[in-house]
């Protein structure tokens, strides 16, 4: 190996060493979290994150889609969060829930539009809402009063009003004059918390400290005293029951059509009718025809 070849080899080796040294000098190992789409129960249960968080805090929690007393035996000290449309709650279930609240339960629900909620069985038996309309509004949930709105979680929805004759709100966002976005009031021995929207407790919102703090305070009345039931959807009555209640006009029309089809396609009753007599020409017609033939 001559001197020129040796020099070139040393230069190439030096360049490689510089590249390797520069790589290790600037390389930094860092864990990166890539967000992925929700899957499993998190796709359809809006309170899945709240359920998991409360379970990690050793608070008994159950996520349900029914108000069946066997699956949800409400007892004094329990908490029930109704995240679905309360208009789907039947009269019997509404009466049972109202009696449970007055006996020491904590009910959380959203009235949505107060005008429509007044005519639902649950709000009729609770008797808390004032029919006067209120405006749509937003408020920022912050960890501290000094925190900026950017660090908070928005709480938006249709304001609602409480009946003046009812109990005063223990905790509230809003006032009696303009309406509330959140209000907690006593009902018998229990508590009812009304919230314009549960978006602050849903899905990814609980990643923010303001939403976590608000959820913790929202569950305060019976927290640690019983089971927390999170009803994120209502299955409604069984299909056959719903069909008998709501679909009876269609069933009646179908029965009439079926009876008409059976009457048309079924065998006739009674004796067979005689076959109609064959048409026979008169004798005069035969004589006339024979005469015309001979005349030709």
> Are the beta carbons of 103 and 189 closer than 8 angstroms?
yes
State the pTM of this model. Answer: 0.66
Strand ranges (DSSP E) for 30-121?
61-64, 79-82, 106-109
Task: Specify whether the backbone of 58 is left (phi greater than 0), alpha (psi in -120 to 50) or beta.
Answer: left
Determine the pLDDT at residue 130.
82
Q: What is the mean pLDDT of the chain?
A: 81
What three-state secondary structure class fits 241?
helix
Residues 6 or more apart in contact with residue 263 via CB below 8 angstroms? none
Strand ranges (DSSP E) for the chain?
61-64, 79-82, 106-109, 136-141, 153-158, 169-175, 179-187, 190-195, 228-231
**CA 8: distance to chain centroid?**
73
pLDDT at residue 122 tops 70: yes
Token duo for residue 121? 């069985």
Determine the pLDDT at residue 291.
81
Determine the pLDDT at residue 107.
92
Closest CA to 166 of 203, 191, 133, 137: 191
Token duo for residue 127? 């008797």
Q: Over the stretch 86-99, which tens digit does the pLDDT of each residue have?
A: 888 888 888 999 99
**CA–CA gap between residue 161 and residue 44 (Å, rounded):** 31
**CA–CA gap between residue 154 and residue 210 (Å, rounded):** 10
Q: Over the stretch 190-234, which tens digit does the pLDDT of each residue have?
A: 999 988 888 888 877 888 888 888 888 888 888 888 899 998 888
> Are the beta carbons of 96 and 180 closer than 8 angstroms?
no
> Are the beta carbons of 184 and 140 closer than 8 angstroms?
no
**CA–CA gap between residue 57 and residue 59 (Å, rounded):** 6
> Are the beta carbons of 188 and 102 closer than 8 angstroms?
yes
Q: With b meaning 16 or more CB within 10 Å and e meaning fewer, what string describes 260-274?
A: eeeeeeeeeeeeeee
Task: Work out the average pLDDT over 108-132.
Answer: 81
Determine the pLDDT at residue 283.
75
Task: Work out the average pLDDT over 164-177.
Answer: 74
């Amino acid at each position: 190996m001559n001197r020129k070849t040796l020099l070139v080899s040393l230069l190439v080796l030096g360049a490689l060493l510089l590249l390797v040294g520069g790589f290790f000098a600037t390389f930094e190992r860092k864990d990166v979290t890539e967000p992925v789409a929700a899957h499993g129960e998190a796709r359809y249960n809006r309170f899945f994150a709240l359920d998991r968080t409360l379970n990690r805090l050793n608070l008994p929690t159950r996520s349900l889609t029914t108000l069946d007393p066997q699956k949800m035996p409400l007892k004094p000290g329990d908490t029930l969060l109704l995240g679905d449309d309360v208009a789907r709650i039947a009269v019997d279930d509404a009466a049972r829930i109202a009696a449970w609240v007055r006996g020491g339960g904590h009910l959380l629900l959203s009235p949505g539009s107060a005008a429509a909620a007044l005519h639902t069985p649950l709000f009729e038996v609770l008797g808390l809402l004032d029919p006067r309309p209120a405006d749509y509004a937003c408020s920022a949930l912050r960890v501290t009063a000094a925190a900026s709105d950017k660090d908070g979680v928005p709480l938006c929805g249709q304001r609602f009003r409480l009946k003046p004759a009812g109990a005063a709100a223990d905790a509230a966002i809003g006032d009696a004059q303009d309406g509330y976005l959140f209000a907690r009031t006593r009902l018998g021995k229990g508590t009812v918390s009304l919230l314009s929207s549960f978006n602050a407790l849903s899905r990814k919102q609980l990643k923010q400290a303001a939403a976590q703090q608000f959820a913790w305070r929202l569950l305060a009345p019976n927290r640690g005293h019983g089971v927390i039931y999170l009803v994120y959807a209502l299955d409604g009555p069984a299909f056959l029951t719903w069909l008998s209640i709501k679909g009876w006009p269609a069933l009646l029309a179908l029965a009439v059509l079926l009876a008409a089809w059976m009457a048309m396609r079924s065998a006739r009753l009674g004796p067979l009718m005689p076959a109609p007599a064959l048409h026979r020409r008169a004798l005069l017609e035969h004589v006339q025809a024979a005469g015309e033939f001979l005349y030709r």
